[in-house]
Amino acid sequence: MSDSPSSDSARNVVIVGSGPAGLTAALYAARADLEPLVIEGQAAGGQLMQTTEVENFPGFPDGRMGPELMMDFRKQAEKFGTEFLTRDVDEVVLTDGSPFTLTVGSEEILAKTVIISTGATARWLELENEQRLIGKGVSACATCDGFFFRDRELLVVGGGDSAMEEATFLTKFASKVTVVHRRDELRASKIMQDRAFANDKIDFLWNTEVVDVLGEDQLTGVVLSDTTTGETREHATDGLFLAIGHDPTSALFLGQVDTDEDGYILVEEPTTATNIPGVFAAGDITDRIYRQAISAAGQGCKAAMDAERWLEAQH
């Protein structure tokens, strides 16, 4: 690991972010002899660092712990010559064209191409006990964790498409799913609402918020509050799934590269090219739908290949 990579000449590829997308881009760029630099951020590794068992990453029939899987991604990228900088990027200038400038502390790094893979973060209720019990009954990913809740009674918080999708998905495993929504009408699209209303394993608790999460080492229940009367009560549950939205980690890039109204970076699918030639984006920073480690890794691979082709075309 380096704290101060040489910045006297422009790097071929600088990758910002070190989740599955960034580290897969690094692996492919390193194997193409592009000597990539990954600015991995102080919270390196992405969302899998906060998960426990990952059972849906192909190639690991017995599952892997999320942090271990990410350490292996990193080792594999490093083995082929990826350099890492464990710092946060303070500023980027992309609009002046290649070479691009990335500022890290007092250092300026020049890059012929940039791959943005800073991911997204699930929104949480920001309750102290909720954070303590993540992976112990509390989750923000039904696709990842639903399987562990066979024949259990679960709560899903939220009223948007994600909440309806996750609640519907969870009924494959759970005996009962209760959607807890803070208002008396859903934000979700009609078709997703209809699907959830038609599912007899799904119940709704309207005008209700989760105000505390209960359990020592494992979730046992929550405290619910009625948003109209303010009354609170305890409610036992085996699993609490948050589906209150995600935020792309794109603040650094706003105004530098085209994004949608929520800050997701726009790419020219099926490539990973952004509107700035030489700047590519991969993973959850571009993806509000799939948000899986494997889909992010696939996009990271595409971004490295796109960057390689772009560099070749410049010569």
For the question of residue 238 being annotated catalytic, the response is no
Is residue 104 involved in binding ligand NAP (CB under 6 A)?
no
Question: Shortest distance, CB of residue 106 to ligand NAP, whole angstroms?
Answer: 38
Residue with Cβ nearer ligand NAP (176 or 288): 288
Binding ligand NAP by CB under 6 A: which of 29, 94, 125, 138?
125
Q: How far apart are CA 267 and CA 300, in angstroms?
A: 13
Give the chain's end-to-end CA distance (angstroms, integer): 30
Sketch the per residue contact string, 191 through 220, with ligand NAP: x for CB under 6 A, - otherwise: ------------------x-----------
Question: Shortest distance, CB of residue 192 to ligand NAP, whole angstroms?
Answer: 7
Residue in 33, 88, 90, 144 annotated catalytic: 144
Examine residue 61 and say whether the peptide bond preceding it is cis (omega within 30 degrees of 0). Answer: no
What are the C-alpha distances in Å from 242 to residues 89, 190, 220? Answer: 29, 21, 16
Residue with Cβ nearer ligand NAP (18 or 208): 208
Is residue 248 involved in binding ligand NAP (CB under 6 A)?
no
Is residue 287 involved in binding ligand NAP (CB under 6 A)?
no
Among positions 132-191, residues that touch ligand NAP (CB under 6 A) are: 157-163, 165, 182-183, 187
Question: Shortest distance, CB of residue 157 to ligand NAP, whole angstroms?
Answer: 6
User: Is-contact 308 142, C-beta < 8 A?
Assistant: no
Cβ neighbours around 74 below 10 Å, total: 22
The DSSP output letter for 112 is: E
Q: What six digits make up the tokens of 179?
A: 């959607």
Q: How far apart are CA 132 and CA 9, in angstroms?
A: 45
Q: How far apart are CA 284 and CA 276, in angstroms?
A: 19
Residues taking part in catalysis? 141, 144-145
State the residues that interact with ligand NAP by CB under 6 A.
Answer: 123, 125, 157-163, 165, 182-183, 187, 209, 244-245, 288
